[in-house]
Amino acid sequence: MTQSTSSSVRSLICGLILAGSLCAFLATDLVLPAIPTLPDILGGGVEEGQFVLASFIAGGAAGLLIFGAVSWRFDRRRLLMVTMLIFGLVSLACILVDNIWQLIGLRFLQGFFSMVPAVIGPGIIRQMFSEAGSTKAIGLLGSLEALAPALGPIAGAGLLSIGGWTLSFSILGGMGLLLAASLVLLPSWPHRQTKAEPKGSYLQLMRSPVFLRYALSQAFCVGGLIMFVFCAPVMFERGLGGGLRDFITMQVCGVASFFIASNTAGWLVNRFGAERLIWTGTLLSTISVSGMVVYALAGMPEPVWVILLFIPFNIGLGLRGPPGFLRAVIAADGQDDRGSSLVVLSIFATASGGTALLAPVVEQGLFPVALSATVIELAGLLLLWILPSLPESEASEQSEGA
């Protein structure tokens, strides 16, 4: 399957990748509204409630590492079908737990099996499109996936009020089983250009300064924002005197900003170049979250100003996200699945590690959360500055070769 594939087939493939990715996104966003109440229902404290989020991310990180290494051995459709089936069954098992540590353990498995779309998706997209086309496709998919953080908590809050915390897991289970059944009925799926094991290894990628430049700067920019979002419900409710409505408003504003920015990224890459866009987006996100630190130090942080400062944070990510991710895959030099896995693995490690470290202090409000996010974003800027970039000629050749 190449760039000559019809647009309708490309759209179908992208839609299925999107559906699989949404299972992973919604497994977090549908559950978020219930996090503050889970310790009261299942036992434990605030820290255990945050571990329900962090364990999913940690499981996802493990899944990325393992599936990125072995996915070349399997038919892509069959691998996605089986893992989505298991994801659905594990999600349904979550409703049967009677203590929070059982839920934390199942969330690890849920995250583990939800990661296959993130592993195989970027390589398939790069196989079907040029660099500009891939940037647009990744931007469009990313913007649609970003609707989950905006609409997911709203839907999750509604499900929580209707059927309690277990209803969200029932919905997730049904989604996984439905996607698995849909994949059974599909007549075809993009075949790999080669069935041989890709040359290289994870260690080789981790020794490549060019790959690390894009992979880790992407991880810090995205992971810092995800960490902020994971901490936001408790931060608003117990640290800022706000509530779920403030969190949902923040998400809607942030996702709308990201949607617009990411869907203009392809056009902006053609006009200004990928490197300039990556720098601009990273700098904008860093300035935004640094502004939150200054505002917190002013003494009386209000939820409305946190929401307003969250908007440029998302615009920056929307600008740098699509070209940054694509360039990391290109820099992997043929190891698309491993490269994609390491990028998303690094994102999840940043988000889960930051969420776990902030769990003891998240109730203190904006300052510790914003300060941690600022440090992470600054690290992304530093990597862009000190590590070498991908030569433009190599980027063009790799994209055309895909």
The DSSP string of 169-198 is HHHHHHHHHHHHHHHHH-S--PPPS--SPP
Tokens of 220: 């810090």
Measured CA angle at 152 (ends 147, 153), to 5 deg: 125
Nearest residue to 2 via CA among 199, 191, 197, 142: 191
Structure tokens at 389: 């970039």
> 9-189+202-388: what CATH class?
mainly alpha
List phi, psi (to 5°) of 269.
-65, -45
Q: Which residue has the higher pLDDT, 396 or 209?
A: 209
Q: What does 292-317 look like in DSSP terms, one character per residue?
A: HHHHHHTS---HHHHHHHHHHHHHHH
pLDDT band at 400; cut points 50, 70, 90: very low
Structure token digits, residue 109: 């498995």
Compute the distance between CA of residue 15 and CA of residue 183 in angstroms, rounded to an integer.
12
- pLDDT of 290 > 90? The answer is yes
Across the chain, what does the average pLDDT equal? 84
Please give the model's pTM, rounded to 2 decimal places. Answer: 0.74
CA of 366: how far to CAs of 54, 232, 307, in Å? 19, 9, 12
Helix 131-145 vs helix 147-163: angle between axes, to the nearest 10 degrees? 20
Please enumerate in sequence order all residues whose Cβ is within 8 A of that of 64, keeping only pairs 6 or more positions apart, or say none: 115, 118, 119, 341, 342, 344, 345, 348
- Alpha carbon distance 136, 209 (integer Å): 26
Q: What angle do CA 12, 16, 19 make, to 5 degrees?
A: 135
**Angle of helix 244-272 relative to helix 209-234, nearest 10 degrees?**
160
**What confidence score (pLDDT) does residue 394 get?**
55
CA 142 to CA 225: how far, in whole Å? Answer: 14
d(CA 268, CA 92): 43
Arithmetic mean of pLDDT, 288-301: 87
Residues 259 and 309: their CA atoms lie apart, in Å, by 17
DSSP string, 264-291: HHHHHHHHH-HHHHHHHHHHHHHHHHHH
> Which pair of structure tokens corresponds to residue 194?
């080669």
Where in the chain are the domains?
9-189+202-388
Report whether pLDDT(401) > 50. no
Segment 295-329, tens digit of pLDDT: 989 876 788 888 999 999 999 999 998 889 889 88
List pLDDT tens digits, range 114-126: 998 888 877 777 7
Q: Both tokens of residue 58?
A: 């940690």
pLDDT digits (tens, 9 = 90+) for 240-282: 777 878 888 888 898 889 889 988 888 898 888 889 999 999 9
Task: State residue 335's pLDDT score.
Answer: 80
Q: What is the DSSP code string of 338-359?
A: HHHHHHHHHHHHHHHHHHHHHT
Among 54-63, 81-90, 379-388, the minimum mean pLDDT is found in: 54-63
